[in-house]
Amino acid sequence: MSRRTVKTNVAAIEVTLAELERMGRLEDIDAARVQALRSMAVALDKNPFNSQMWREYREAIEGLTADDGNGDGAIDELLDELSTSVRDPS
């Protein structure tokens, strides 16, 4: 993995977004979250001491970069549960 030297939050989020795009991890539904991240990066470059904004920025990044896995997880468990046969309670 090559590491790029970035000096601003704007540059860093663009690297992250480009990599997510390359990996096929961004979809049209992510547009608002992507724009929010870009706006927060600009705001943090202007005022890096805004702790509330940092918290929201980190949470937004985590939400966008969280690995959805390979199909395993809550949705599959729910589908399995829904597809099981109905039991007679008596």
Fill in the amino acid letter for 29.
I
Quick one: pLDDT band at residue 54, thresholds 50, 70, 90? Answer: very high
The HSE-up count of residue 23 (CA atoms within 13 Å, CB side) is 13
Which letter does DSSP use for residue 24 in this model? T
User: How far apart are the C-alpha atoms of 18 and 34, rounded to whole Å?
Assistant: 11
pTM of the complete model:
0.70
Instruction: Round to whole Å and give the CA distance between 61 and 17.
Output: 10
Mean pLDDT calculated for residue range 60-72: 76
